[in-house]
Amino acid sequence: NAGVTQTPKFQVLKTGQSMTLQCAQDMNHNSMYWYRQDPGMGLRLIYYSASEGTTDKGEVPNGYNVSRLNKREFSLRLESAAPSQTSVYFCASSERAGHTDTQYFGPGTRLTVL
Amino acid sequence: GENVEQHPSTLSVQEGDSAVIKCTYSDSASNYFPWYKQELGKRPQLIIDIRSNVGEKKDQRIAVTLNKTAKHFSLHITETQPEDSAVYFCAAGAGGTSYGKLTFGQGTILTVHP
């Protein structure tokens, strides 16, 4: 099992460009999450999907959109990138919807917006 | 929403010493308290967790304690080794209408000197 995978690993964008971060899990998990990690601020939840077909905002959703494409895949889109979105982005998944199960993280995407 | 405060932000110890990291949370509905370890450039990985019906949990050199009345929980690492050097994050979560979302602390950079 690959667990949680993310693409790309690194990306450099110019202000105003758009891009989609991809995430997939092969553990048959129901819930998936997108976090951003900035120095000194821990991991902050951007969006989550409690189960296939549902998505909801987390703590810092502004400037982002998500799509739960199917049970395996959960993508994060930046429509018009800003320097404030320079960060490391982690996708995570957990087994049961609505329960506090262990979250398994992907390897991360390091995004720089110039 | 939930707020998690973590202290200290940095911790430096000598090999063989103990290390203690403390977290407080605000939402009395939180019932799940995991700890994640993140090595440099890697993904966060769960090292231990505790649920609200338990006061203490141990796994070899690591232990977590929970005081629900005071809304705080702590990570204890004994006989520290250089490979324990990493960033440690606490988190708090609740099931039900919170859908298993986690709120993370700001992180503690632990350095173990040989």
Whether A40 sits inside 8 A of B31 (CB atoms) is no
Is residue A65 within 8 Å of A40, Cβ to Cβ? Answer: no
Q: What is the pLDDT of residues A57-97, one digit of tens each?
A: 999 999 999 999 899 999 999 999 999 999 999 999 999 87
- Residues in chain B closer than 8 A to A107 (CB atoms): 42-43
Q: Is A79 left (phi over 0), alpha (psi -120 to 50) or beta?
A: alpha
Distance of CA B22 to the CA centre of its chain: 7
pLDDT tens string, chain B, 114 residues long: the values are 889 999 999 999 999 999 999 999 999 989 999 999 999 999 999 999 999 888 999 999 999 999 999 999 999 999 999 999 999 999 999 866 667 789 999 999 999 999
Closest by Cβ to A98, choosing from B91, B99, B106: B99
pLDDT for A97 equals 75
A17: closest CA of chain B, how far (Å) = 26
Closest by Cβ to B99, choosing from A31, A40, A41: A31
Give the pair of three-digit tokens for residue B81.
Answer: 């080794």
- Tokens 């520290």 belong to B80
Whether A103 sits inside 8 A of B102 (CB atoms) is yes
